Amino acid sequence: MKKDTRQLILDTAKRLFNERGYNGVSLKDIADELSISKGNLTYHFRKKEEIMETLVLDTPKKPFPSTVSTLKELDDIFTDMQKILQEHSYYFLHHAQLSTLSQKIRETQNYAYLEIVNTFQRSFLSLRSLDLLREETFELEYKRTINMLLMTCIYWAPFEQLQRSVGSITDFRVQAWSTIYHLLTEKGRTELESIVRL
């Protein structure tokens, strides 16, 4: 094998996890796909959980901006989130289960959650100050909208599979904008028309 065996195992496991889901792939499946023995695979990773932990921890993380000051910049975040969902669907298909595999995965999930929540909170306040978002009509309206965005993101992969099975498709970016549309001012809605078509 030209490429480092360990990296080939990770690349193959990621592809198989994306295709079949974490629960649908065994160590034997990964070894068979690579035409190596299971013993060779377990020399690098004793358990499937170790492969998943390595994938989660070693995946390069593109940091979110600390805040945005235009709807286009917010759209860039939604676009990045959509790319992450597509490239790492295995992670989102089993998000809740993965947190039980290892403390390190759980800590990574918690950190990612706090980072994106803080980005959205600062961004919503920034966009409000520019009259692109309206004032909250009830306490914690922004926070609850942000939580809805994140729940949509976390559970998008299984929902997208369901959509495909019935011949329907919506992309995450459009769904994200639909989720916050009610917060946009008239100025914000006009600006959004030049960014995305709902």
CA atoms within 13 A on the CB side of 2: 0
Look up the pTM and report it.
0.87
Express each pLDDT in 97-137 by its tens digit.
998 999 999 999 999 899 999 999 999 999 999 999 999 99
pLDDT given for residue 147 in this prediction: 96
Query: Per-residue DSSP letters for 9-39?
Result: HHHHHHHHHHHH-GGG--HHHHHHHHT--HH
Q: SS in 3 state form for 105-163?
A: HHHHHHHHHHHHHHHHHHHHHHHHHCCCECCCCCCCHHHHHHHHHHHHHHCHHHHHHHH
pLDDT at residue number 59? 79
Q: Is the domain defined by 5-55 classed in CATH 1.20.1090.10?
A: no
Residue ranges per structural domain of the chain = 5-55, 60-193
What per-residue confidence (pLDDT) applies to 1? 44
Q: Token pair of 34, please?
A: 């690579």
pLDDT for 166-190, tens place per residue?
Answer: 988 889 999 999 999 999 999 999 9
Class of the 60-193 domain? mainly alpha
pLDDT at 138 over 90: yes
